[in-house]
Structure 1
Amino acid sequence: MNALVPQPFGAPVPSIDPQARAIISFDGVSKIFPARSGSAEVRAVDNIDLKVPEGAIVGVIGRSGAGKSTLIRLINGLELPTSGKVNVDGLDIGSLDERALRQARRSIGMIFQHFNLLSSRTAFDNIALPLEIAGVARRDIAGIVNPLLDMVGLADKRDRYPAELSGGQKQRVGIARALATKPKVLLSDEATSALDPETTGQILALLKQINAELNLTILFITHEMSVVKKLADRVAVMEGGRIVEQGSTYEIFANPHHETTKRFVGEVTGGNVPDWLSAKLQPDYQPGRSAVIRIAFTGADADEPVLSRLTRAYNVDFNIMHGQIEYVADHPFGTLIASVAAGPELLAKLIHELTSTRNNVEHLGYVA
């Protein structure tokens, strides 16, 4: 039980090393739920390979039914793989017996969308619950729980019951409870989707703080790309039980390849084509039509006056139709949809100029 005796929280650690060992790995993992009367079998997770570096924050995003929840349940052994291996901190989760699995779960913290607090227990006692189950001596529990209450900003709510707490405060209790057994991995199942935007921002900031101070690996699932943008170092995009794209958060935002990823990214970067514009787009050039292009400005070039330079060099005018510029993973990133009065030959030159400065450009069509 020594691992559960109170220990001081450390200073922030350096940012994640991309060569860090994988504390969670999926190797060819599939999970198939058998057919029931009147329905076919369900391949919830389909041949997934995924590695989560130690100390990273990794987001798994997908629509409802993409397989996210099954994936996270495979990590803590609530579901076992039909094929392949799920490895957590050197343990093959699917090969463990029930006793070994209970022991392994002590190093895997979990926070939930709807908090899962016991209404009859105070904030302190909810956080203490996993320690009691683990057999920690009562005299040691306060020394573990009180620093956690401080860390999540609830020292003054120690003796409050869940009914007396706001949604954000309940989630802070849930986070502290997940940290009580000093886990090496923290799993988050849509932990902010029941919260308002301001409270969501506070919880995400708390999770980033916990990751930095404890060097705690965090894997979270979500259907909100705005959460990925604010929290994740790396992201995996799921559709139909498969991971269709993965990489660093900035790489995924700057250069999405799969159509599902493009839709997610476009929701928060202004890259999705508005309905009013989509209805006007034509595939072919005719005199009098303007070309419509989508430009992703990345890295050091994101705040450069690229379009102004092209306007002067080629004597053309760009009409900004849609888009925005912001920061993703602390780097500037912008998406603009613009039209320009240019035929195919001039358009090819403009696109060449834009891509030569590391911008990603897509020709969407033409408008009158």
Structure 2
Amino acid sequence: MQVYSKATQKFLKICKAKAKEILIQEMKIDFNRSRVKWKNYSVPLSFVVFEHQTNLGFFNHHLYQIGLNKRLLLLNDFKVLADVIRHELAHFEAYLRYGSSINDHGTEYRDICKSHGWNEDIYGAKLKLSETLPHFKADNTKNEKLISRVQKLLSLANSDNLNESRLATAKANELLLKFNLTEEDLSEEEDETFLLRVLEGTKVNAKAKAIYEILTTFNVQPVFSHAKGHYYLEVVGSRVNVELAHYVCDYLVHELDYLWKETQKENLGLKGLGAKNSFFRGVATGYKEQIQEIQSSSFSNKDLMILKEDLEVRVKNVYSRLSYSSSQRIKNNSRSADLGKSAGKNLKIKKSISNSSIIKLLR
């Protein structure tokens, strides 16, 4: 999970300055602002801060992005930080030279490190000093209890009793919104914003877009991030909202397909990709209408505006500019869309069956 705050932004400035020094002086590679000159190409290179208890860094070749663990900020050891940066820059160079097919820490990678005079402390899969790094000491007990309570309420929405099911959904939504509206939550001097990639694939499809729309009801801003032949669905918001959105996304990946298959069994003439896509769009519409009805009956427009404005500030902390686009050519199957809408109004978020940190949607 990526972290954005005043402290992490200052930390990133230090990291970028050190990376530039290493690239130019040790690797003999030009680096200006956020781009690297490689042969006749100008290649982007960005840096982020993330939370993880074991991984100190990563290089994402889809996004040309290096991640540095927040624990390095807490450690305040410049030598260890520089070695982690060297380790990830070597992955960056290995990708530029050989693509993504080579072994992560294989011969080619090690040869690159050795060519720059770096020893095993750099090219080892794990830095030897990682055990000495401080662990996160923040008390997230309140957040964990809230997430657990919301998850239980969402599971209670599985009741066959329609009224009981909707009451559970309403209570879960009310609990989440009340937490976000507390004065303590909105007035923290150093409030961290989090970004988590919850879905990825080769092409954004109707199912991914439906998940995007449903996640907006959990007080996060979903964003499609695109790279070469690849996309990520990212969610931005407070820690609690981002973690709950991940939980919901994990469940929806499987549930949407299940709902479609069950609807086909009951409606034998329902076939084709157009009908399936219309169904997914309908599910998102139905679910959002259900939540909007709950919110309008439980919260004032002023309350909802406070939440919207808080989320907008968080999004600006992550994305300096954010553009929105929509497809103008959509073939809609009205019957399938209506069936999807009905399913969406009765959609029940149960326990997720996947434990992966990011779900892959390659279809």
Q: State the TM-score, normalizing by the size of structure 2.
A: 0.28
Q: Give the TM-score, by structure 1 length.
A: 0.28
Q: Which protein has the bigger helix share?
A: 2
